[in-house]
Structure 1
Amino acid sequence: MESQDTIAVLAALAQPTRLETFRLLVRHEPQGLPAGELARLIDVPQNTMSAHLATLSRAGLIEGERHSRSIIYRAQLDTLRDMVLFLLKDCCGGNAELCAPLIAELTPCCAPQPTGTA
């Protein structure tokens, strides 16, 4: 990811409704949510939600897919990953031990959950 792309992503997220929308879509991966449901859950008018979804889409943070009469939106986790990696690329001047606490904080949310054995 380049600097300009990172700026576009951060700018798209620098608004409360768009940030909340993106976080909601991340929580609903991989199935996504229809635009109307997003508007209802966040309690904004549908035309306002459409404008926010367009901004997030232009930044590459979400993608919509038409299903019959609805558009299902999904978070583009690759874009999120690329942005975080860009921001951390030169983390701590190459001193991995300084970045260890940050990596440890990220790991629990993203680690595969063990499956129970019978």
Structure 2
Amino acid sequence: MSVISRSEKELGSLDALSALGQSTRLRIFKHLVTMAPEPQPAGGIADALGCLQNTLSTHLAILARAGLITGVRDGRSILYAANFDGMRGLVNYLLEDCCKGHPDVCAPVFEQLEQSCGCGPASRAGA
């Protein structure tokens, strides 16, 4: 098991935030989150978002390098899905030093995650 240094976590988080800091990529990621757990073909993503397929591939590659989506080959196609572990890593990095010993400050964030999709820390505690 490898230990990831704080600076590596910071660089990974910067990559993820940079990837999501562009409108089309943010829309792609949100679309894949909405469609989870079913992976989506690039053509379906392009159609859903009204994006040209040739520019879509660049956006997908940036999101994949940032660890926010995964692509799995299915014959001649690649199916894309949101990488929830990557997103959890980003959120955990942003909140790891939260609250200066007052977890009640961040509690609403985790409660909202639990209510929206069950992907907050309480749902993983029993896993």
For normalisation by structure 2, the TM-score amounts to 0.83
Once the two structures are superposed, residues 27-79 of structure 1 have per-residue CA deviations (whole angstroms, 9 ceiling, x without a partner) of 11121100011011110110010010011011111111111121100111000
Instruction: Report whether the alignment pairs 1:13 with 2:20.
Output: yes
**1:17-32 alignment to 2 at 5 Å?**
17-32=24-39
Residues 62-77 of structure 1 mapped to structure 2, 5 A cutoff: 62-77=69-84
Cα distance in 1 for residues equivalent to 2:24 and 2:97: 31
> Could you tell me the percent identity over the aligned residues?
44
- Residue 86 of structure 1: SS of its match in structure 2? helix
- Structure 2 segments unaligned to the other structure (5+ residues): 1-7, 120-127
Task: Name the residue aligned to 2:59.
Answer: 52
Greater shift in the superposed pair: 4-13 or 85-94: 85-94
Which structure has more relative contact order (CA 8 Å, sep 6+)? It is 1
Q: Which runs of 4+ in 1 moved over 2 A?
A: none
Q: In the aligned structure 1, how far is the partner of 2:9 from the partner of 2:35?
A: 28
Question: What are structure 1's unaligned runs of at least 5 residues?
Answer: 113-118
